[in-house]
Chain A
Amino acid sequence: MRMEWNMAVNNTSKFKVAASGVIPFTFIIILMLYIFGPGGDLLDFGVALPEITIEKVDFIDSEIQATVRNTGPIPVQVVVADVNDRIQPSAVEPDGYLERFETTLVRIPFEWNEAEPYRIGITVDDGTRFEKEIESAAFALEFTPDLAIFFAIIGTYVGIIPVMIGLLWLPFIKKISKQKYHFFLALTAGLLLFLAIDSIEESIEVSNENLANSFNGALLVATVVVLSFLALYYVGNKIVSKSDSLNFSKPVAIGLMISIGIGLHNFGEGLAIGAAVGIGSIAFSTFLIVGFALHNTTEGIAIAAPMSRGKLMIGKLAIMGIIAGSPAIFGAWIGGFAYSPFTSVIFLAIGAGAIFQVILILLQWIQKENDGNLSTLSVVSGFAIGMLVMYLTSILV
């Protein structure tokens, strides 16, 4: 008897919980139906203006190609294309009608001249013209084995070699006192914080220059940074907590996390380099490459610092160096051959999130080793010097 009564209570309460969860949703649905149905007139004021964004312009043989996205609130028709404000008969593939967020390719036959600036204009059906300015026309890169090898070499210079050089500090870090060791760990955290801020700045810049306002650039970056942080935080803790059963020592687990984080970051740097070569600023990218190489040597230290506390494992260290450095090669390939501002923004933000989680892990580790204390001189000065070193080497980039 008593049992049954209990069951009944249980059932009702479960039902109540379910109902209280569902009821607000029901109201949201009713509200939506009302607004899109009979209540539509209430909101029917103001004029919706068309908006398109010219996301990408490629210069190929006797032709300029513009990738156009409808970033406004209403569908549009692409009706006129011009180069430097001079109308050109053109082709739109697959067609000129664009629903919201749809893209199309406008092919403008045009004998363009290398290294000259061009303004590409697209007019939509209500007569509004949108424009994108290209500072210097250059052939769009087409995939060739030679070019792929070229990018791989650049990626190696920028990613793998400097990280490996940085790792060579490991014997030095190994021999120093605990205080100095904490200094180097904090230095690493400082270096990484700088990199994360740098990535965020870069991704917001790319999004401001190339993406429409409707993507909410800064918020897109913030969301991806947080998501990437959370995902890696979850996975990272799993790896660290299971490091014993996985036959990893804790320093190796942390080193691995740092190299994954740096790898994601270097992928973003590779994208930037590939894109710089892609838009023809070759001289600029030679400079960029030298800068990145110096800059990235410090990333090797970031991996070496935690690893110095375990046994010297040259094999594992080399693998970590490759995990951290080689994404620069893939980034350069994608940036050079298939550049898209949207993917750039996403990957730069993922890199930033990854680094934030590495910083957190480092700080937690120092705190644990230091008996819960983070405010020692070695930690604070290490952090500060890390930031400073990065700033000074960044001037080279």
Chain B
Amino acid sequence: MKTTRSTLMIILLATTIGLSAVILFPNLSEAESELKTFVTHSGKVIRTTGEVIDPLYTVSEVEFDPMEYLREFNYGNVSKLEDGTTVREYTIIAEDDKVMEVSPGVFYNVWTYNGTVPGPTIRATEGDLLKINFINNGSKEHTIHFHGIHPAEMDGVFEIVGPNGGKFIYEFEAGPVGVHPYHCHVMPLEEHIVHGLYGVFIVDPKEGREPADEMVMVLNGLDTDFDTENNFYAANTIPFYYQHHPIQINTHELIRVYVVNMVEFDPINNFHLHGNLYNYYPTGTDLIPSFYTDMITLSQTERGIMEFEYTYPGKYLFHAHKVEFSEKGWVGMFLVNDKAESDENGMEYGS
């Protein structure tokens, strides 16, 4: 009797110790020895036997390609009225069920216009008649509210478009000249904007602008854990993308950046360019620049046009000088090529 009791005690003790050992040291059994390396943001090379976590996207992995978005302009389906007015027709479809990998391994429910954040860049010339066919395929109510001049009933605020196929046609004349945001204006507004329902609307002057290598940068943030603080910041949604995939430009060539700040929660954002200064046109409404600077400060939906040329080839950073933002993804790089060399490849200009 006594022996069985003590055996029982020993078994009980052994099980307890065994179980706690498993809880305490679960990874004893899985040893991996393959050595990987990675480079820190300060340039140090680190070796590890484990897994590397780095907000570094390779081109093949990325679901939304910031490089493609950068220089893509949607001019719409063009037709002419009898009086010669250009009519541009666009179709924009809203959805709110997509889960996108926004940074390697981070999955976030994005609400999209035409499947991307930001939505397509809508571009027209001042005076064009715009017809935007809006379809809401989401599960919530959505609208499109354009910044600019238009009749009240085209403002996308009180004309709520219902979910699951609701439709609305926004019709107005393009204007004024400049760069403007468009976004959903359904309450709670903050929620609809931070999930990604916004995009850029460019109105060109009738006489056009000087030819340039043109690009769009939407400065945005992602609050992936819904604590009203952004976990990531970026130019064009994907954190650190243009740092690891520099934007290729040429020396002595005019670069025009349409920049729109859509960051929520943080009162300001800013844009600092390295090794250069730029002419800045606030809101792009005036054809004469207001500043020659390397630093602008932008509040919510504040935007403008930046124009610059690089004299020397090489790598130049551009980033928020609010360093918190740049260290959480809002940082990029221009790779300036010598024009003499790149001319052979032929350079495409924006329109």
Contact = CB atoms under 8 A, between A and B. Distances in A.
Interface of A: 62, 77-82, 85-96, 99, 101-107, 109, 111, 123, 125-129, 340, 342-343, 346
17 contacts: A82-B328, A87-B239, A89-B53, A89-B56, A90-B53, A91-B48, A91-B52, A92-B51, A92-B53, A93-B51, A95-B50, A107-B46, A107-B50, A109-B40, A123-B106, A126-B106, A129-B231
A109 B44 contact: yes
A94 B327 contact: no
A123 B222 CA distance: 13
The 7 closest A-B pairs by CB, nearest first: A127-B224, A79-B105, A93-B50, A91-B48, A89-B54, A86-B327, A128-B225
B351 interface: no
B113 to A, nearest CB: 21
A101 B56 contact: no
B107 A93 contact: no
A107 B48 contact: yes
B100 to A, nearest CB: 11
B27 A340 contact: no
Contacts of A106: 53
Nearest to A130: B225
Contacts of A99: 26
A96 B32 CA distance: 13
Contact of B26 (A96, A103, A105, A126): A103
Contacts of A127: 102, 106-108, 222, 224-225, 231
A232 to B, nearest CB: 13
A94 B103 CA distance: 21
Contacts of B225: 123, 127-129
Nearest to B33: A94
A372 to B, nearest CB: 31
Contacts of B52: 89-92
Contacts of B107: 125-127
Interface residues of B, number: 44
B31 A94 contact: yes
A80 B41 contact: no
Interface in B190-204: none
Given A87-B232, A109-B40, A128-B224, 8 more contacts: A62-B44, A79-B103, A87-B328, A94-B27, A94-B31, A94-B50, A127-B108, A340-B24
Contacts of B36: 91
A94 B32 contact: yes
Interface of B: 20, 23-24, 26-27, 30-32, 36, 38-42, 44, 46, 48-56, 102-108, 222, 224-225, 231-232, 239-240, 323-324, 327-329
A95 B32 contact: yes
A222 to B, nearest CB: 16
Contacts of B323: 86
Nearest to B22: A101
Contacts of B231: 123, 127, 129
A91 B51 contact: yes
B304 to A, nearest CB: 28
A88 B54 CA distance: 7
Given A85-B324, A123-B224, A80 B48 contact: no
B170 to A, nearest CB: 32
A81 B104 CA distance: 12
B44, B51, B107: residue with the most chain A Cβ atoms closer than 10 Å: B51
A126 B53 contact: no
A89 B103 CA distance: 12
Contacts of A90: 52-54
A87 B329 contact: yes
Contacts of B30: 94
A129 B108 CA distance: 13
A89 B40 contact: yes
A88 B40 contact: yes
B24, B104, B106: residue with the most chain A Cβ atoms closer than 10 Å: B106
Contacts of B329: 87
B38, B49, B224, B323: residue with the most chain A Cβ atoms closer than 10 Å: B224
Contacts of A96: 51, 53, 105
